Structure 1
Amino acid sequence: MNSPGRAALLAHLTSSGIAGRVATPRENNLLHYRLLADRDPYYLLGLDPSREWTAESVLELMADRVGVSPDPGHRAGVDTIDPELTVGALDRYADRLAAAALRRETVYFASGHPLQLAGLYQRFADALRGYGCPILRAGDGWGYDASTRYGTKRLTIGYSAAFGADGSGDVAALEDAGGPVHSHAARPIRATFAALAADGTPLPDLVVADHGWCGGAGQAGVDAIGFADCNDPALFVGEYEGVLRVAVPLDDGLEPAAYRPLGDYVLDRIEAVRVVAGS
C-alpha cells in the first residue's frame, strides 16, 4: 500500500472532484437543505433532529462543517467541499476505526451508495478482521416492497456489493433483481437491529456506513461513522447534535477507483494509531 501524505491527499481530493469544486449543483444542495428543515423523511436519513432546523440554519451548518458557499444569494451553479474539512474528518473517522481495532470491537458495514463505496468499505472490513475484529453480517435476505416512480419494487438486504480477501462480502446494501441499488432508507438497519435484538444478539459496537444505514444506526444509539455529500445535510446535523460520531464531507457518487488513495490514507492512519498505542 502506497499511502499518500496529507498534502498529496489534499491534492487528490481536489483533482478527483471528491472535494473542492464538486459535481453536486448548488440548487440541489439548497433544495435538500429545505427538505430536511421540512423534516421530509427521505432527507432525514433515519435521524430525528432534536432541535428545529431552518433552511438558513442548515446552510450555516453546511458552510461550517462541509465548506459549501455560505452566501444565501448563491442559488445555482457550482458548490464546494473544503478538502481541509474532508481530511480533518477523515482523521477522526480513521481514529474511530483504530479504536475499534484496538478493542477488537464488532463492526457492521453497509452502504446506500454500494456501487461507489462498497469496495472502499470492504477494504476497511478486511483490515479490521485482520486486527481481530468480528465483522457482523446480519439481515441477509430481509426485504420489503418499496414504492418507486416506476411502481412497486422488491428490495432485499444482500452482500454482493463487494467481496473481500476471503471471498465473502461484508458490506450490506439493498438489492433488487439487478443487484445492489442506491438508497436513502433507514428501514433496513432498523429491521436488522430489531432482528438481532429478537435473537438476543448484541448490536454492533460500531457501524460504518452512509445515508439511512448510518443515520438509522446512530439514532438507535449505536456508534456510527459515515461519508456524506454536500446535498446530504442530515448526517452533519446528526454529528452536530451528537447522534453520529463522525460525518466526512465528500462527493459520494464517483467511480470507486477515485476513493482508493483516500482508503490508503485511512488504513495507514489506523496502523499508525495502533503502533503508537503499542498494539
Structure 2
Amino acid sequence: MLSTGALRAHLLAAGLAGTVATTREASLRSYRLFAARDPRVLLGLDPAGGWGEADLLRLMAEKCGVSGDPSHRSGLDVIDPERTVRRLDAFAARLGEAAARRAPVLFGTGHPHRLLGFYVALADALSSAGCPVLTPAQGRCVDMTTRFGLRTHVLDHVRGVAFVREPGPPPDGRVPGAHSHSALPVRAALESAAESGGPLPELVIGDHGWVCGAGQLGIEAIGLADTDDPALFVGEAEGQVSVAVPVDDGVRSASYRPLTRYVLNRACLSR
C-alpha cells in the first residue's frame, strides 16, 4: 500500500510532478495553437467556449499549477503534486465505480512506449473485477496526418490497451506503437464496436485523442495529461472529460508503477 505522502515524494523524485521536463515554451505554444483551434492540439475536442491564450493560461495554472504569469516565457514547466494526487483520487473513484457495476471499458494510449504498462495493469484489474475490456477494430487501418504528411497506421491492442502502430512487424520485438495525438483511432474503435453489435464502452481510459475524442462523443472519459495538453483540461472544465490528471507523460515507464499501485488501492482493486 502506497501512502499519499509516499506517492507525493515519488512524483517529485521521478519528475512526474514538481519541475517537469516539459518546457514552458512547448506549453505556451500549445496554448497559442489551441486558441487558434489548431486540430493538432484540440485532440478531437470541439470546445464550446472561446478559449484565448490568457484563458488557457489561467485554466492550466488552476488545473496543473503552472505559473500563471504571462511574462514567464522560458524554462521548465511545473506541476503541483497536490493537484496530481487529488486528480488521481478522482481517477481511482471512477475506476471503482466502473468495477462496481461491471461496466464495459476501453483503454487507449498515444504514449505506448511510456504508458502502456500503466494502462495494462488497470485493464487487468478491471477485467478481474468483471468488467469487459473491449478490443474493437483490431487491425483496422487508420489514415492520420503526421509531420511527414498523411500516413496509414494500424490499430492494435496489447493486453486490452489500444494504440496505433506503423504497418509491418514490430522492430526487434519492441512495443510497436506510435506516438499519436489523434482522435481518429478512438473514433474507429467506437465505430467498429457499433458495427459489430457488441457493447460500447461506458468508460474510456487513456490520454490524448482517446480521451478527448471519446468525451466529445458523449462517452465518459478519464486520463493523464501533461502541461502542453490543454485539451483534456478544457474538456474537464466544459464537462466532456470526467477526470484529467496533471502529470508528465514522458518519463520512464517504470516510474508510473507506483501510480498504478496507488490508484488500484484507492479503487479497492488491489489483488
Instruction: Sort the TM-score into its range (normalised by shorter chain).
Output: over 0.9
TM-score (norm 2): 0.94
**Structure 2 counterpart of 1:33, one-letter code:** Y
Could you tell me how far apart the structure 1 residues matched to 2:258 and 2:227 are?
20
Please give the per-residue CA displacement for 1:6-26, whole angstroms capped at 9, x wherever unaligned.
Answer: 011001101110000000000
User: Secondary structure at 1:156's aligned position in 2?
Assistant: strand
Mapping of residues 101-250 of structure 1, within 5 Å = 101-160=99-158, 169-177=159-167, 178=170, 179-250=176-247
**Structure 1 counterpart of 2:263, one-letter code:** V
**1:252 aligned onto 2:249:** yes
Tell me the equivalent position of 1:164.
Answer: none
Which segment is superposed worse, 29-38 or 186-195?
186-195
Could you tell me how far apart the structure 2 residues matched to 1:42 and 1:152 are?
13
User: Secondary structure at 1:180's aligned position in 2?
Assistant: coil
**Structure 1 counterpart of 2:180, one-letter code:** S
User: Secondary structure at 2:198's aligned position in 1?
Assistant: coil
Report the Cα offset of residue 147 of structure 1: 4.1
Q: Count how many residue pairs are aligned between Structure 1 and Structure 2.
A: 263
TM-score (norm 1): 0.91
Mapping of residues 1-150 of structure 1, within 5 Å = 3-150=1-148
User: Secondary structure at 1:14's aligned position in 2?
Assistant: helix
Report the Cα offset of residue 102 of structure 1: 0.7
Please give the per-residue CA displacement for 1:12-43, whole angstroms capped at 9, x wherever unaligned.
Answer: 10111000000000011000001011110010
Report the Cα offset of residue 4 of structure 1: 1.5
**Structure 2 counterpart of 1:184, one-letter code:** H
Could you tell me how far apart the structure 1 residues matched to 2:124 and 2:33 are?
37
Could you tell me how far apart the structure 2 residues matched to 1:86 and 1:268 are?
16
**Structure 2 counterpart of 1:263, one-letter code:** T
Report the Cα offset of residue 68 of structure 1: 0.3
Equivalent pairs: percent with the same residue?
51
**Structure 1 counterpart of 2:248, one-letter code:** D
Please give the per-residue CA displacement for 1:213-240, whole angstroms capped at 9, x wherever unaligned.
Answer: 1100001111100100000000000000
Could you tell me how far apart the structure 2 residues matched to 1:62 and 1:149 are?
26
Tell me the equivalent position of 1:277.
Answer: none
Report the Cα offset of residue 151 of structure 1: 5.0
Please give the root-mean-square deviation of Cα atoms over the aligned residues, in Å.
Answer: 1.4
Report the Cα offset of residue 201 of structure 1: 2.6
Report the Cα offset of residue 139 of structure 1: 1.2
Please give the per-residue CA displacement for 1:42-100, whole angstroms capped at 9, x wherever unaligned.
Answer: 10011000010000100000000000001100000121000000000000000000001
Which segment is superposed worse, 71-80 or 148-157?
148-157
**Structure 2 counterpart of 1:174, one-letter code:** V
Could you tell me how far apart the structure 1 residues matched to 2:192 and 2:27 are?
35
